[in-house]
């Protein structure tokens, strides 16, 4: 297992390196960039001081260099005007639109995004697994019909519409705070127990909104998978031998039915991040989704490139976690292969 983890980490580094080159090339595909467009606009308006600052930033970050050299400087593999200063050295670049370092722009948003999506995944699995399992065991009963109804409602309701409903009713019926991930009094405050408590309360509605569609889809799939496992001969044999109903379902059939959902963890992380952009805009959440959208619109490619690279890293980490969990869940999986 240790050898497999080391090998996978090496593969992840090479994959992330290739993804970084692809991301940098994609964000530079549109003609021009933020500074070039700004310089053209400032020249037209005659603002010489602002033009000088924009030209300084262009030289400072080697934006007049060839694209391959810009990429190497951005990653920190090639010395730029400030020497070796790139992502691998901790310099994430400069947000030209916001006129701030990228690290300052995304610092709190990254942690908010990770926390929000972690709890959203926890909500999805906590609700979907027991509901889907009970629906399969109690197939064609009122419990199954109720789970099916919940699944259809979750799949048919757009996230942004559910966000608008809970935005109003959550506050009216349950007194839940909506809008943002913390109260205004905590926005510029350092982390404290009161701020953490306020963030957790603010997360309740966004977690339900973001996780509902994934939960509904998982309930339907788990029900179908588990029904298929329960009809197999080994389950019938176990029942004939007098194995208890709980062990008959949980010990093997449920574990086998869970394999696709554990394997989906790697895809679930980035899908939640990208799928929550509209929800974040509607609910005013301080996550990286709205920041990424604004950066892509303004061609602020240091900022957008880092966020896309971060989402790619989340995907790779999620895939590694899912593979390790599959090894624990399913004893038939062997990473080392057959020994000759």
pLDDT, tens digit (0-9, with 9 covering 90-100), for 70-95: 889 888 888 877 788 888 888 888 88
| pLDDT of 260 strictly over 80 | no
pLDDT at 51: 67
| pLDDT of 331 strictly over 70 | no
pLDDT at 333: 60
pLDDT at 91: 86
Q: Output the six-digit token pair for 263.
A: 């394997």
- CATH homologous superfamily of 108-329 equals MetI-like (1.10.3720.10)
Total-model pTM: 0.77
Q: What percent of the chain has pLDDT over 90?
A: 1
Instruction: Give the pLDDT confidence of 135-182 residue by residue, as tens digits.
Output: 888 888 888 888 878 777 777 777 767 777 777 776 667 677 766 777
- Average pLDDT over the chain reads 78
| pLDDT of 336 strictly over 60 | no
Q: Output the six-digit token pair for 200.
A: 């957790």
275: which residues sit within 8 A by CB, 6+ positions away?
A: 159, 210, 213
pLDDT at 340: 45
Q: What is residue 232's three-state secondary structure?
A: coil
Cα–Cα distance, 278 to 119 (Å, whole number):
18
- pLDDT level of residue 1 (50, 70, 90 thresholds): low
DSSP state of 142: H
pLDDT at 18: 92
Q: What is residue 50's three-state secondary structure?
A: helix
Query: What is the DSSP annotation of 60-127?
Result: HTTTTS-HHHHHHHHHTSS-BTTBS-SGGGT---EETTTTEEHHHHHHHHHHHHHHHHHHHHHHHHHH
CB 154 within 8 A of CB 213: yes
| pLDDT of 201 strictly over 60 | yes
Cα–Cα distance, 171 to 205 (Å, whole number):
10
Each domain of the chain, given as residue ranges in start order, spans 108-329
Nearest to 269 by CA among 160, 126, 117: 117
Q: Output the six-digit token pair for 2.
A: 């240790």
pLDDT at 32: 67
Q: What percent of the chain has pLDDT over 70?
A: 84
| pLDDT of 262 strictly over 60 | yes
């Amino acid at each position: 297992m240790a050898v497999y983890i080391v090998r996978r980490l090496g593969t992840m580094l090479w994959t992330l390196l290739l993804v970084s080159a692809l991301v940098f090339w994609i964000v530079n595909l549109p003609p021009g960039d933020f500074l070039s467009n700004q310089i053209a606009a400032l020249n037209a308006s005659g603002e010489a001081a602002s033009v000088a600052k924009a030209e300084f930033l262009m030289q400072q970050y080697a934006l007049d260099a060839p694209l391959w050299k810009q990429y190497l400087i951005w990653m920190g593999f090639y010395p730029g005007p400030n020497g070796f200063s790139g992502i691998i050295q901790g310099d994430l670049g400069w947000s030209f639109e916001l006129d701030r370092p990228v690290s300052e722009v995304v610092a709190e948003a990254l942690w908010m995004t990770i926390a929000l999506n972690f709890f959203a995944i926890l909500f999805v699995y906590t609700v979907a697994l027991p509901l889907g399992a009970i629906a399969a065991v109690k197939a064609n009963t009122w419990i199954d019909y109720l789970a099916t109804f919940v699944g259809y409602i979750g799949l048919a309701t757009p996230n942004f519409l559910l966000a608008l409903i809970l935005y109003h009713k959550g506050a009216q019926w349950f007194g839940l705070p909506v809008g943002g991930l913390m109260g205004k009094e905590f926005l510029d405050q350092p982390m404290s127990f009161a701020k953490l408590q306020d963030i957790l309360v603010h997360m309740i509605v966004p977690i339900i909104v973001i996780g509902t569609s994934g939960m509904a889809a998982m309930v339907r799939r788990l029900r179908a998978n588990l029904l298929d496992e329960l009809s197999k001969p080994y389950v019938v044999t176990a029942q004939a031998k007098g194995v208890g109903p709980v062990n008959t379902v949980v010990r093997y059939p449920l574990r086998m039915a869970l394999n696709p959902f554990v394997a989906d963890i790697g895809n679930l992380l980035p899908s939640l991040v990208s799928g929550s952009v509209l929800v974040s805009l509607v609910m005013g959440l301080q996550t990286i989704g709205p920041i990424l959208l604004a950066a892509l619109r303004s061609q602020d490619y240091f900022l957008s490139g880092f966020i896309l690279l971060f989402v790619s890293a989340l995907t790779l980490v999620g895939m590694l976690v899912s593979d390790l969990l599959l090894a624990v869940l399913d004893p038939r999986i062997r990473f080392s292969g057959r020994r000759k």
